[in-house]
Amino acid sequence: MFLPSVAEQLFQDIQKAYQETSQIPDDLLIALKFVFGPCALQALDLVDQQSVTCLSSPSGRKAFQVMGGSGCLYTCFVSCHYCPCPAFAYTVLRRNEGPLCKHILAVYLCQATAATQQESVSDQQMSALLSGTAAQ
């Protein structure tokens, strides 16, 4: 994982609190906003809308599809910390203003709260996704 240790700890704290109360406490929401800035609220909105789907193949590969607020479907690869959205390219890669975009943050939050939709795909479908040839 490419996240700073403070972010990793924050996700662990969110996961623990969510398992106990089925909610993210206010202090962790404030910490989330402090660490990730404005994309934190946008990511939480994506989580609330159940916009994250984990695609898994029989070979064990995983990718996440996130339906963005504009209706675009983004295939995110958390294992290599990548999202094809314009905000990731500009804010994260070009300007180095943050560690991730709202789509990848939504994936991490869904993993912490067990709110990820699950879908099985064939190895051929996963290969098409990985090579960028899948119709989206």
Query: Is 50 inside any structural domain?
Result: yes
- Rounded to whole angstroms, how far apart are CA atoms 63 and 116? 12
Amino acid at 113: T
What total number of domains does the chain contain? 1
Show Cβ contacts of residue 59 under 8 Å, excluding neighbours closer than 6 positions. Answer: 123, 126
Query: Is 124 inside any structural domain?
Result: no
Predicted confidence (pLDDT) at residue 136 exceeds the cutoff of 50? no
- Rounded to whole angstroms, how far apart are CA atoms 72 and 136? 9
Question: pLDDT of 80-134, one tens digit each?
Answer: 888 999 999 988 888 877 788 999 999 999 999 999 999 999 999 999 888 875 5
Q: Which helix H or strand E contains 112, and what residues bound it?
A: helix 102-113
Query: Is 13 inside any structural domain?
Result: yes
pTM of the model: 0.88
Q: How confident is the model at residue 3 (pLDDT cuts 50, 70, 90)?
A: low
Query: Is 38 inside any structural domain?
Result: yes
Query: Is 121 inside any structural domain?
Result: no
